[in-house]
Amino acid sequence: MKFSLKIVVSALVIVATSNGPLLGDTLRTLYPEIEPYQTGMLAVGDNHTVYWEESGNPEGKPVVFLHGGPGGGTEPSNRSFFDPTRYRIILLDQRGSGKSLPFSSLENNTTWHLVEDIERLRTHLAIDSWVVFGGSWGSTLALSYTIKHPESVQGLILRGIFLCRPQEERWYYQEGASYIFPDLWEAYKAPIPEDERGNFIEAYYKRLTSDNVAIRQEAAHAWSNWEGGTSKLHFDREYAESFSGEDFADAFARIECHYFVNDAFFESDNWILENIDKVRSIPGVIIQGRYDVVCPMASAWDLHRAWPEARLEIIEDAGHSATEVGITDALIRATDRFAEL
């Protein structure tokens, strides 16, 4: 009984989305690990230098991978979302992130600086236009970049949609997600005294920008651990602990908090949706985990309503992370389709 019910539910999901794997299909997994054939540090002005690299096929379709956070940096496994025989794969560490220098810097670090850095790298690599791939904050940045430079973008592959609106920040850092993860929320609120809990983002910002190293470290760990622990539908200790690395946590927490204190430097709360017309003629796919607690599906839905031409794929058994099996499967199916554009 239990077994047959499960089949019915899966079948309904497939009808509803009509583009996921069919029953019996194997789920797609990452392409094999590869090494870059070229890397560089691009001076982008304002004392910032950003790390970039190319892997895959130098004659292939160019794709740029935009990492999350902001502040998360890229990692070698990010290359493996793309068929290395068909894509020229470009990874870029955003200002202050990953191997970019100065590490963890908040100065001259805004959405608009990142947008122009992406455009500068495109020109530097003599690429006319590219596919843009981004999850979470990477989706915010991909959309912001496309709104400013639509002619540079051939296609958009977006995952775990984040529009960086005050309600999304409130949900995750102030009130909302704590109802689902009250256990992990204990550790998130611990560094902040009772009388400052009316605005966690501001209270964290104060500590993350403190000259006191111990205060800054404690805040960076608590902030990053909250995200690591809440990113998957099924808690994954190893994944969660990967957010605790000394360096990773510092840039991730500081840069995220800096962007959220400033509401992504957008002119208005709904800036992306208000400007979505610039994006609508570009082929796009939106991949969203139903149980994404970090970037709840309401934002993917709002984007879908504003941009109905893009294909929405809801992954019924996933949370936020691109490393969850259903999300990885959908992303790789998407990059394979977009290789034919």
Question: Would you name the residues annotated as active-site residues?
Answer: 136, 292, 320
Cite the beta strand spans of 57-139 per DSSP E.
Answer: 61-66, 87-92, 130-135
Tell which positions 275-314 bind ligand STX, by CB under 6 A. 294
Q: Which residue has the tokens 């794969």?
A: 89
Strands (E), the chain: 38-45, 48-56, 61-66, 87-92, 130-135, 153-159, 284-289, 311-315
Beta partners for residue 286, in sequence order: 158, 312
Look up residue 84 and give its two tokens. Answer: 């290395």
- Beta carbon of residue 44, minimum distance to ligand STX (angstroms, whole number): 20
Residues 31 to 60 in contact with ligand STX, rule: CB under 6 A: none
| Stretch of 66-74, 109-117, 122-130, 276-284 lying at the interface with ligand STX (CB under 6 A) | 66-74
The residue (of 2 and 237) whose beta carbon lies closer to ligand STX is: 237
Place of tokens 């000394």: 246
> Where does this chain touch ligand STX (CB under 6 A) — which range of 67-75, 200-208, 233-241, 275-283?
67-75
Residue number, 253 or 279, with CB nearest to ligand STX: 253
Side chain identity at residue 125, one-letter code: L
Is the CB of 192 or the CB of 251 nearer to ligand STX?
Answer: 251
In sequence order, which residues have a C-beta less than 8 Å from that of residue 106 and are 6 or more positions away? 96, 209, 254, 255, 258
Task: Identify the DSSP state of 41.
Answer: E
The answer to whether 232 and 239 are in contact (CB under 8 A) is: yes
Binding piece for ligand STX, criterion CB under 6 A, among 38-46, 61-69, 113-121, 190-198: 61-69
Closest approach, Cβ 164 to ligand STX, in A, equals: 8
Judged by CB, which is closer to ligand STX: 58, or 245?
A: 245
96 binds ligand STX (CB under 6 A): no
Question: In the complex, what is the shortest distance from the CB of residue 94 to ligand STX, in angstroms, rounded to a whole number?
Answer: 10
Q: Which CB atom, from 54 or from 324, has the smaller least distance to ligand STX? A: 324
Q: Candidates 46-54, 64-72, 106-114, 303-311 — which segment interacts with ligand STX by CB under 6 A?
A: 64-72
Structure tokens, 213: 């190293």
Interface with ligand STX (CB under 6 A), residue from 81, 82, 133, 162? 162
Q: Which stretch binds ligand STX (CB under 6 A): 53-61, 68-76, 145-153, 261-269?
A: 68-76
Q: Which of 48, 64, 66, 67 binds ligand STX (CB under 6 A)?
A: 67
Pick between residue 13 and residue 261 the one whose CB is nearest to ligand STX: 261
Q: Considering only residues 173-232, where is the footprint of ligand STX by CB under 6 A?
A: 227, 231
One residue of 20, 62, 72, 98 binding ligand STX per CB under 6 A: 72
Pairwise CA distance, residues 107 & 139, whole Å: 23
Distance CA 275, CA 279 (A): 8
Question: What are the φ and ψ backbone dihedral angles of 49, each rounded to 5 degrees?
Answer: -130, 130
Site size for ligand STX (CB under 6 A):
10
Q: Is 136 in the site for ligand STX (CB under 6 A)?
A: yes
Neighbours of 274 (CB within 10 A): 13
Closest CA to 206 of 249, 174, 253: 253
Task: Find tokens 């019915």 and name the residue.
Answer: 8
Instruction: Report the alpha-carbon distance of residue 28 to residue 60 in Å, rounded.
Output: 21
Is the bond preceding 36 in cis, omega lying within 30 degrees of 0? no
| 61 vs 63, beta carbon nearer ligand STX | 63
C-alpha 264/C-alpha 111 separation (Å) is: 6
Q: Does 137 bind ligand STX (CB under 6 A)?
A: yes
* Residues in contact with ligand STX by the rule CB under 6 A: 67-69, 72, 136-137, 162, 227, 231, 294
